[in-house]
A and B are shown apart, each in its own frame.
Chain A
Amino acid sequence: MNQWQNLIKGLIKENPVFVLILGTCPTLAVTTSVANALGMGLSTTFVLVTSNLAISALKDFIPDKVRIPCFIVVIASFVTIVDLVMAGYCQVIHAQLGIFIPLIVVNCIVLGRAEAFAAKNGLWSSTVDGLGMGLGFTFALLVLSAIREALGSGSFLGHKFIHSDGILFFILAPGAFIVFGYVIAIINRMNRGTK
């Protein structure tokens, strides 16, 4: 597998949200608006790339039996860095995302990639894998949030294109599940065609 395929697999074929169905909790929670989704997606991408890089570099140095605690410490450090930097320079998004930034630590995508990929592959492949998965996650969040924001509040990135409130249902949790389900169905259909 060359690096291009490695990068692109995260977008559709092995999309962490739509195909692997990982990290659904933050996915459903933050996709109420496109701005939130973008903030969450990019923070997770940063954490994925840096933690994949660090874990791949440290993989020979970490004894097998304590690898999970080591991974968690590394991931938690990067997440805290994101949290602090965001609180300092981007307070608006930080206030919106709130608890979900610290929760990136336990996002299964991050630990999943560390365990399944970075711990077995080289530096460069792991970085590309982290980037691909991160972008795939961001892409998934953007798709879901664009649909939910358009239907739910009639706007895109906060710009209203209809002069009414939209269907509140899609901003709330049940709407999130329904949109999520339909998008998974469409992606599955598309993937079946390529197999």
Chain B
Amino acid sequence: MSKKPSTFFNMVGTLFIISFFSSAALGFVYEMTKGPIAKATLEKKIKAIQEVVPAFDNHPLDEVYSVDIDEGTLFFYPAKKNNKLVGTAVETLTTKGFSGIIKLMVGLLPDGTINNIVVVETHETPGLGDKIKKEKSDFSKQFTGKNPSLFTLKVKKDGGSVDAITAATISSRAFCDAVIKGYQAYKKEVRK
């Protein structure tokens, strides 16, 4: 078979047909993987909640409530044991990261003390900003057991008490920003 000549009609037709079949195939695969992806994402979320709050026996995902702030929506997952609140996992975010959005799961004890923090989503520079992740450096561990009412959630450069990651001050600042937002929203909710 000889090659099709590059006439206008041929080119438009070919591109149309190829795009059409590609999008059909993608739509099919998307439908097929939608279930497993949603399930995997949910499992990841449950794992993150388990990591940041003390042991619980309820289903925090079913009792979720949310608060809208300027940059997006914060989600609160109350963790209860024997119907008593043992902690709240706050899914908080900031857009001040070096490469856009950072999502954190912050575990707060009922009195507002930070129990543990897990990074849910980040696009920070590998090797520098991504040290906010627990498995990459001890940065996020310094928040454990600190109560933001007694502890200034700002990097030392800005007059706070947080040790920033070397060469990643912007990421460290963004991390603090997300934690503060989560904490303040939590306090506001609790007071209600």
Contact = CB atoms under 8 A, between A and B. Distances in A.
Interface residues of A, number: 26
B29 A84 contact: yes
A88 B44 CA distance: 12
Interface residues of B, number: 27
A76 B35 CA distance: 22
Interface of A: 29, 58, 60-66, 69-70, 73-74, 76-77, 80-81, 84-85, 87-89, 91, 99, 172-173
Question: What is the predominant secondary structure among interface residues of chain A facing chain B?
Answer: helix
Interface string B124-149: 00110000000000000000000000
B26 A81 contact: yes
B159 interface: no
A181 B11 CA distance: 43
Given A60-B4, A64-B6, A88-B37, 10 more contacts: A60-B2, A63-B5, A63-B11, A66-B15, A70-B14, A70-B15, A74-B22, A81-B25, A87-B40, A91-B40
Contacts of A76: 22
B69 interface: no
A162 B62 CA distance: 45
A59 to B, nearest CB: 8
28 contacts: A29-B126, A61-B14, A62-B18, A63-B5, A63-B6, A63-B11, A63-B14, A64-B3, A65-B11, A70-B15, A73-B15, A76-B22, A77-B26, A81-B25, A81-B26, A81-B29, A84-B37, A87-B33, A87-B37, A87-B40, A88-B33, A88-B36, A89-B33, A89-B36, A89-B40, A91-B40, A91-B44, A172-B127
